Structure 1
Amino acid sequence: MVDHGSGRVALVTGGSRGIGAEIARRLAGEGFALTVAARQQAGVTTAVEQLRAEFGVEVHGVAANMASADDVARLAVEHSEHFDRLDLLVLGAGMGTDERIADLRPKAYDLQLAVNLKAPVLLVRELLPLLRATAEANPATGARVVALASITGVAGEAGLSVYGASKAALISFCETLSLEESAGGVSATALAPGYVDTDMTEHLRDRLDRDAMLTVGDVAELVLSLTRLSAAAVVPSIVVTRAGPQLWRA
């Protein structure tokens, strides 16, 4: 087990690219030690090397497929064996398929529910003892779970029915987690942004300019702000919409 002193520790899933990578980078800049998880080993290795080189913090990398319950359990074990605390769990891994309801494929449905909902629920369950212990040892700040949901979990978007449904369920799960655990210092926040400029939204470039999207920095900044709150402050969800005449839109 690594001795990281009194510094805070975070685990970020989906941490090798996009929003998750930027969150990991911002946290490292704040002095957090990190476990970074992603599906591909090459991406994990690159992310770990870059974070260590740029910020000099302890970073543990784990290649794990969030569609696999066994991998989710292994990730929890590896983090707990490497670090003795968990101040922040960032549920950043996610996937979506743009298809109309009439064209839904069972395989795509199953994969989205597995990655976007089942994996976060199982990971929280496995890491809850460590979150509780960290909160008990640090009552002023507690411990937090931040889940990357989506504005489609708040207001429907054509073509994203299953994706939006999985994110709506994730928002509800975060609320229930806070209801059950916040008295002990563990709370959860679901971040629900509109379209963010990442590789996941490249397919939208023919109808939506990059400068019309949110940035990964916008989302990462909100995560950092949550880490600066006291344990007394519970934030169930944060919705971030894009600029324009229509408020509730992806």
Structure 2
Amino acid sequence: MSANPAALVTGASRGIGREIARRLAVEGHDLTVSARGREPLDALAAELESEHGVKVVVAPTDMSSTDDVHALAEAHATAHGRTDVIVLNAGMGAIGAFADFPVRRLEKLFAINVRSAYVLTQDLLPQLREAGRSTHHGGKVLAIASTTGVVGEPLNSAYGATKAALISWCEAVTTEESAAGVIATAVCPGYVQTAMTEHLPGEVAWEDMLPVDDVAEAVVSLTRLSRRTVVPQLVLTRPGRHLWRA
């Protein structure tokens, strides 16, 4: 087992996940990076290993497949022998009016945004508990949720429901596990300048969306807290009149 803390970052090939992985490497974490495609993960791993001297395991994963998620957990646990941080960043976005939103799309949203987080963390809980017992920072589960899971918004009945479920799940996990040093936090940003939001219709201009760097810094800052401090939820919103809106 490495002396370095080990982090698993899903959705790490671009955007928020990529920047979180980079910042964790800067701080000395060995990593497992996951996304659907291998090529961008290989490039990221080569960059982080070369620049920061950490071990990076590449694990392409379809987060809608429970078998794939189990395999991801096993690959990480075997490669590093420990789990200090899980960043649950992989997600699917979809908007549409409730009246005719396809149920099959709702089911896929829940599979990727909620079920994968549940399965992956459950599989790695023994190693998270060990980090909770033996390290200053404990075991951290950091789930990228959304302000749409805090306050309902038009066209987000499905996506917002998955993020609300993720927020509730983090709180429940924390009530069960934080006394043993395992803490789950739902990080809830509004619209962030990523590929997912680039072409969204609406009134929020690109330049008014949250910078990726700020979201990544907020997430990584939680890993610096000791296991004695619990942050159940962290909301990040843009300036303006609609404080709780995306």
Do both share a fold (TM > 0.5)? yes
Instruction: Tell me how far 1:219 sits from its aligned partner.
Output: 1.0
Q: Distance in 2 between matches of 1:198 and 1:55?
A: 25
4+ aligned runs moved over 3 Å, structure 1: 205-208
Instruction: Give the aligned partner of residue 188 of structure 1.
Output: 184
Q: Does 1:108 align with 2:105?
A: yes
2:238 counterpart (224, 234, 242): 242
Instruction: Give the aligned partner of residue 32 of structure 1.
Output: 29
Q: Distance in 1 between matches of 2:40 and 2:64?
A: 17
**Secondary structure in 2 aligned to 1:89?**
strand
Any gaps of 5 or more consecutive residues in structure 1?
Answer: none
Query: Percent of counterpart pairs with the same letter?
Result: 49
Q: Distance in 2 between matches of 1:60 and 1:205?
A: 37
Q: TM-score, with normalisation over the residues of structure 2?
A: 0.96
Check the 8 A contact 1:96/1:160 in 2, yes or no: no
1:227 counterpart (203, 216, 223): 223
CA RMSD of aligned residues (A): 1.3
The aligned runs of 1:1-250 (5 Å cut-off) are 3-4=1-2, 6-138=3-135, 140-204=136-200, 207-250=203-246
Aligned length: 246
Q: Distance in 1 between matches of 2:200 and 2:93?
A: 13
Any gaps of 5 or more consecutive residues in structure 2?
Answer: none
Q: Distance in 2 between matches of 1:159 and 1:81?
A: 41
Instruction: Tell me how far 1:205 sits from its aligned partner.
Output: 7.1
Q: Distance in 2 between matches of 1:60 and 1:136?
A: 25
Q: TM-score, with normalisation over the residues of structure 1?
A: 0.95
